[in-house]
Amino acid sequence: MTRLASSIELLLRWDLALCLRCNEAVRHAGLRHLFRAVSRLGDGVFWYALWLTLLCTFQERAVLPIGHMLIAGVACSLTYKWLKSKTLRPRPFAVHRAIRLAADPLDRYSFPSGHTLHAAAFTVIAVAYFPALALLLVPFSLLVALSRPVLGLHYPTDVIAGGGIGVLIALLVLEISP
């Protein structure tokens, strides 16, 4: 076995072990309900409520940040759908019997986590304009990211990749937009 193949095998074992560890939380009803709720909010409801709140609170000052989040949202959706169609990585619950599915998946494939991708992008942009929002958005986005392997929907590497791609998209949008 080559050094690269050995490293990849080690990474995949770590990924599965951490996914199994996170997924143990669904055995506790309170945690299962918490992470399902966070995941549901991360479907978009939380972000739409944020945009409406920003518009009501900051009015014209919120238009550009929300515009940037909308541009990032489209870029995130296109990117993660394209990546999923190319990688075709099955979700953990579909491959490993020990992983309990605790929420309905939005699609068949796992890589990258779209919830995490969007949460990272929206958080970076919102905090760039309204730094005080970091106190709310960073913990919420971390909970969204954690909810994915807890619910059996993603491996940790899917979440890490989604977060990294989301941050990159947000930084690109902030850089190229007025």
pLDDT over 70 (residue 178): no
Backbone angles phi, psi at 109, to 5 degrees: -110, 160
Taking the model in full, what pTM does it have? 0.91
Number of domains present in the structure of the chain: 1
Residue 154 corresponds to which amino acid?
Answer: H
Residues found in the chain:
178
Tokens of 102: 């605790």
The whole-number pLDDT of residue 1 equals 67
Question: HSE on the CB side for 75, CA within 13 Å?
Answer: 20
What's the CATH code of the domain at 49? 1.10.606.20
Q: CB neighbours of 170 closer than 8 A, spacing ≥ 6?
A: 72, 120, 121, 122, 123, 124, 125, 128
Report the C-alpha gap between 39 and 162 in whole angstroms: 15
Q: Which amino acid is residue 61, in one-letter code?
A: R
pLDDT tens digits for range 135-168: 999 999 999 999 999 999 999 999 999 999 999 9
Collect all residues with Cβ–Cβ distance below 8 Å to 72 and sequence separation of at least 6.
Answer: 121, 122, 125, 166, 169, 170, 173
Query: At a CB cut-off of 8 Å and minimum separation 6, what does 114 contact?
Result: 76, 77, 80, 81, 84, 106, 162
Give the chain's mean pLDDT. Answer: 93
Tens digit of each residue's pLDDT (9 = 90 or more) over 74-115: 999 999 999 999 999 999 999 989 999 888 898 889 999 999
**Mean pLDDT, range 59-83, rounded to an integer:** 96
Domain that holds residue 101: 3-176
